[in-house]
C-alpha cells in the first residue's frame, strides 16, 4: 500500500491462541476463501456487538473456536482487495484482538470453505503471506 493512502474499510480480527503444557504459545491460522492464504479470522463489525465480540464471532464462523476475547486492540494490519462487484482494489485495516481459545468445535459454519492450522509463532510468521499481519504476530505479547 502506498504511504499516506487512506484506509477505506475497517474490519476486526481475532488472534486465537492457546498455551501448551510446556508454556509455548500456539496460534490458529485460517485460509482465506479466495486466495487460500494463511490469515487470522476477520470480518466486519457486527451491529449490537463490540468489535472484540465481532472478532470472536468471526473466529467461531471461520475456525470453529470458542474462547475469551480481550477488549483491547493489540494492533492493526493492512491489506488490499477488490470488494465484490468492484474492479479496483481498496485498502482495509483490521483491528486485532487476542482470543484465548477454550475449545475447538467439530463442526462450524465455514468448515468446508477454509483450512485451519495450530502453529507455533515462528511457523505462523513464515506461513502468513501478508507482511503487515506477520509483523504484528511476531511482536504481540501473549498473557500466560
Distance of alpha carbon 113 from alpha carbon 144, whole angstroms? 32
pLDDT band at 3 (very low <50, low <70, confident <90, very high): very low
CB 68 within 8 A of CB 54: no
pLDDT, tens only, 29-66: 999 988 899 999 999 999 999 999 999 999 999 999 99
Residue 6, pLDDT > 90, answer: no
The confidence score (pLDDT) of residue 5 equals 53
pLDDT > 90: what percent of the chain?
Answer: 81
Q: What's the Cα-to-Cα distance from 20 to each of 118, 125, 139, rounded to whole Å?
A: 11, 18, 19
Torsion sign over Cα 48, 51, 53, 55: positive
Instruction: Provide the mean pLDDT of the chain.
Output: 91
Q: Domains along the chain?
A: 9-139 (3.90.79.10)
Amino acid at each position: 500500500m502506498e504511504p499516506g493512502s487512506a484506509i477505506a474499510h475497517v474490519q476486526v480480527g481475532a488472534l486465537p491462541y492457546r498455551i501448551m503444557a510446556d508454556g509455548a504459545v500456539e496460534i490458529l491460522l485460517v485460509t482465506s476463501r479466495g486466495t487460500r492464504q494463511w490469515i487470522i479470522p476477520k470480518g466486519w463489525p457486527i451491529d449490537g456487538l463490540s468489535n472484540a465480540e465481532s472478532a470472536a464471532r468471526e473466529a467461531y464462523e471461520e475456525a470453529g473456536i470458542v474462547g475469551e476475547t480481550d477488549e483491547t486492540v493489540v494492533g492493526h494490519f493492512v491489506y488490499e482487495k477488490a470488494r465484490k462487484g468492484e474492479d479496483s482494489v481498496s485498502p482495509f485495516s483490521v483491528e486485532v484482538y487476542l482470543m484465548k481459545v477454550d475449545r475447538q468445535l467439530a463442526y462450524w459454519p465455514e468448515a468446508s470453505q477454509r483450512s485451519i492450522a495450530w502453529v507455533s509463532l515462528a511457523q505462523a510468521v513464515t506461513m502468513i503471506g501478508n507482511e503487515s499481519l506477520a509483523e504484528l504476530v511476531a511482536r504481540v505479547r501473549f498473557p500466560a
